[in-house]
Each structure stands twice: as C-alpha cells, then as structure tokens.
Structure 1
C-alpha cells in the first residue's frame, strides 16, 4: 500500500482521509498542520501521527507521497519542497495561482521522475463519466456549447483563510470555478480565450460573489461559466450538440436528451456530496500511476492549462478585457 502524508487537515483534508478508510491501495500515516491541537482528536481516531514540521515528513523515507490540502498560496513552495525531497505529489485545486508557477513546479517534479495528480474528484463521478462517453461516441452529434455552474456559500469563510482576495481572486474561482474549468477541458478540450465579469453584490466578506465567464475553445466551441459565492451549493454541467444535450447535476444525477427521444434520467446512489467515493478513486488512481500501471487521468499538460485559464480569468475580471490563453 502507498504510504501518504496529508498536508493540511481542515474540512477537505479530513474528507481526503475519510475517503480511503477502506482502501487496499493507499493509507495516511502522517498529517502536517500548522495547529496540531485543532485536529489531535481526529488523528488519534484515525491512527495518524501528527506534526507541524513539513520538512520532517519530507525527510521520512517511509512516506511515498504527500497530499497537499493547504491554502492555495502555499501550494507552489510546498510542491517544490516535495520535488526536492523526491516525493510524489497529489495537490488539491488550484495547483498554483499562476501558470508560471505551475510550469516550474511540474517541470521540477518531472525532472525528478515524480508523479503528480490534482484533486478534481468530479472527473471520477459516474455522471461525468457518462457525459464524457456521450461526447466521445458522438451521441450528441457535433459539440457546440457547454455551460457550467458551481455555487456555494463562501460567507461561512469569514475569519478563515479563504476570507481574502489574495486567496480567492475572482470570487469563487479558486475554490469552486476551477472545478468547472477542469470539466470543460476534460469534455471540450483546450480553452483559447476568456472574458470575465466579477463583483461583490451580497456577501459580507471582502471577496466577489458573482463571477461570470465567457469562454472560447480551440475547437471553435463556446462556453459559459457561472460561480456564485453567496448562495447554497449547486453543481451542474450541460453540454449541447447538434443531436441533443446532456447534463450532470451534482455528482449523482445525469440527464441524456437527444432530438428524437424523451430524456433519460439516471441517479447514482452513494455519490451524494461530498462524493467520498470519487475522492477515493482519485487517490487510488494516483497510486496506480506511481506503480506504473496506468497514468493519472488528468495530465500535467491539463493541470498547466487549467492554471493558465484560471489566471486569465482573474486578469480579465480585474481589467474587463478579453484575455488570450496563449498570452499567459
């Protein structure tokens, strides 16, 4: 079994740990957090050793890889340290906050022969897999347009690390919208340009809560991304083609509707939010890649491209201008 260290043990870090309790492939032996006293009971319960010294974990030859679930602005330095120490890296999204940082970090890992993965667990959801298969088989005809929505109430982050325009540029993009970007790349390919609008309307903390993005794809298709950071949680992806449309809602619902037939609805039990089964699949796929059995389904090139798209959106949101991804 692959021995992992979790770096950052907040709400999502604990979901990562919980997701693989029954895994026969990976396990967490160690956790790193800035304030160990906050999670000591959790670590005792999970039989995980606890430290605030990241370097000591990197120096431990028994640990195969690190799983980074810390604030976004810390990712780059933590990935670079892991690469220097010869550790494989699974990083929560966004990988870094700039394309230059992503390129440098990915190159450093590659030069050391290390594997890299990113926590886009929605790629492993059954409804996303169904939509990808529909597009791959041309069941929807020629792709035309894709819409994506990811909303949540980030007002609960008041006083926490997300309560910052540095950590949450363009509102919900770094915590929510980046998932939509990855889904778009997965389903429709590379993005060529973006035009964003982002502003604060209702949220009490000083981040934007309404972010809208128009996207053009290299294949000529169009897209639209919405992330609202001051409402209840909602995820939806809908792809349109010349023969019909298909839609993923949350992680467990799927609708497939072609021109000549009634819509077909599917529900996937056990994949309700937070989708621990999808998180488990992502971590086990990371292990499979490390063992050389199959590559992680999100390539380093896609990680780099998604980071460039995210950076372009934040620039467009500030300037009001259309941004070409090639210029990032």
Structure 2
C-alpha cells in the first residue's frame, strides 16, 4: 500500500484525492496547502491529516507525492520531492518557463526517482480506444489529426494573468494529445490567436480563441482549435483521417436520450466541464502511476513528455507574436 502526500488542496487536488483514496493500492497519508484551513478541510473529507509540505517531504513513510499546487511551484516541488527519494505525479505543466523545466529534468535525472506528468486525457477510454485502433492499423497511416477543445466559460481574469497563457495552460493538453496520437512532436507550428470572448483577457496579454496548424517530418498535419467559451458545454472531440479510413471520438453527453418529432431531432448537450467529463480518466491516470511505481515499471507519461508539450506551447506563443511558423527545435 503506497502512502501518498497530496500537495495542494484546491479544486483539482480534490479530484486527485478521490482517485488516491479510491485506489486499492494507495492511501492518502497527508495533505498540505498554502492555506492550512483548506488542507484541513480536504484531509477531513478523506480521513487524512493536514501537514506542512516540509513535514510531508521529510516523512520517510510517505512513498510519493502528488503535486497539485500553483504552476509556479511545480519545478521546485518536483526537485525537492525527488531529492528525498519520493516518486512524483505532478499536474501539468512542468513549469511556465521551458528553461526552468529543462533544469528540473536535469536535477531529477541525478536522483533516479520517477516523475509522471498529469496529462490525464491520455487515459480517457474514448481517446485510448481511438489510439488503439490506429495502432492496430484499422485506418492505415495517420494523415490528418483534428483536435477540438472548447471550455464552457472563461476563467477569471485574475487566473489568466498567472496562468502562463492559453497555450501553456489550456492547449498544452492538446499538444500532448497530438504527441500521444501521432507518436512524435511536429517539426513546425503556426498559430493564430485573438481575444474575442473577453476584452479583459486581451488586455491581460493573453488570447481566448486560437488555432494551431502543426506539420510533421513525413508530411502529416495536425490542427488544434481552442476557445475559452462554448455556451453549449465542454466540447472535447478528436478526429483522425487515415489512408484507409476515419476515426472519431465524440463528446460525452449529459444523457443519451434523442427526441425525434416533426419539429426535428434533438439530443442532450455535452457535459458541462472537466470534472464531469474526465473523472474516469483521472482515476485511470492514478491507477497507471500506482501500477508502474509499485511494480517497478515504466511510467506511461514522463517528464520528457511534459517538456515536449511545453516546448510546443512556447513555439505557438512565439508564432502568434511573430505571425510566422516556428520550428519546434528552435525553442
């Protein structure tokens, strides 16, 4: 039974607490947070205790930590945890700075401790089934990938200002998904973005609507579309055209009822947001971490994967600023 320290007690930490407690191979040993009362509240919900981050890291009986704190603390906590012999699952991104993320990787490599980055969408059963069908050569060679990811409503502008921007905060999931499906990063990225949802997001220096076209060494193409606002719900779709067919992963709906009358055919909206859409994938992600760490296997998502997606986010950011395509290797 792995004893886990949870660093962070916000909304996403609550999702992870559920996954940790629900897995037969792990137990939530302690919770910490910048605001101790938040840690006490979350710990009490799961029969755990609130402790300081320093206490959790120094406790040799705690095998691993799950980092769900603010992004600007990720690299420091990854380094601190691995330095004292703890395995890590850290929420994306590794850092807001690509240079800092790379220095983190160098520090971690000296410890030999495993670090997994939380790209939970790889563990969604629908996306996983699509990837399995591609790998089984059911549609031949992949040629054109299209990823749609629209949030139902934008976050507060205060969050936007510290998020690192849409490409590092939101589209980074889609960059990793493209790498997962296509099997490698692209050669170049061309991005366009604007602020048409909320004027204040633009004034804060970010975009809320963006599209990215990525090209690969062998000529394949991937397109990612992001928006901070889709009034009908959380739009999460993936489409892959191959030489011998098409694969699609459609939205998860609030229910499966379809009404057909003389007025037309109607159905339910997509689930509202990521808590409803991806709870299954968060549990599967944690299960994969436990299985790999406890069994001495290879982690399915690595620090290298996190840095690859962050490099793509940096390339997209530079492309928007310059209006020109950017080669990923140049960042």
Shift of 1:252: 8.2
CA distance in 1, matches of 2:24, 2:208: 41
* Alpha-carbon distance between aligned partners in 2 of 1:275 and 1:317, rounded to the nearest angstrom: 29
Q: Distance in 1 between matches of 2:110 and 2:7?
A: 23
Check the 8 A contact 2:190/2:325 in 1, yes or no.
yes
Task: Pick the structure with more strand per residue.
Answer: 1
Shift of 1:250: 4.1
Distance 2:252 2:295 in 1: 29
Aligned to 2:32: 32
Contact 2:94 2:117 in 1 (8 A): yes
Contact 1:251 1:272 in 2 (8 A): no
Separation (CA, whole Å) in 2 of partners of 1:251 and 1:7: 30
| Matched residue, 1:235 | 236
- Matches of 1:245 and 1:41 in 2, distance apart? 47
Partner residue in 1 for 2:3:
3
The runs of 5 or more residues in structure 1 that have no matched partner are 254-270
* More helix by percentage: 2
Q: Deviations over 1:81-126 (max 9, x none)?
A: 2222222111111122233322222232222110011111111111
The reply on whether 1:310 has 2:305 as its aligned counterpart is no
Deviates more, 1:140-149 or 1:101-110: 101-110
Q: How do 1:173-252 and structure 2 match up within 5 A?
A: 173-188=167-182, 189-203=184-198, 204-205=200-201, 206=204, 207-231=206-230, 232-250=233-251
Q: 2:47 and 2:289 mapped to 1: Cα distance?
A: 22
Which range moved further: 307-316 or 148-157? 148-157
Q: CA deviation at 1:219?
A: 3.3
Q: CA RMSD in A?
A: 2.2
Deviation sequence 1:154-188 (CA, Å, 0-9, x none): 534344xx231x4231x2x3332111111110111
Secondary structure in 1 aligned to 2:304? Answer: helix
Change (3 A) 1:275 1:230: closer
Report the count of equivalent residues: 305
Specify the alignment match of 1:131 in structure 2.
130
Aligned structure 1 segments of 4 or more residues deviating by more than 6 angstroms: none
Q: What TM-score do you get using the length of structure 1 for normalisation?
A: 0.86
Contact 2:168 2:314 in 1 (8 A): no
- SS of the residue corresponding to residue 59 of structure 2 reads coil
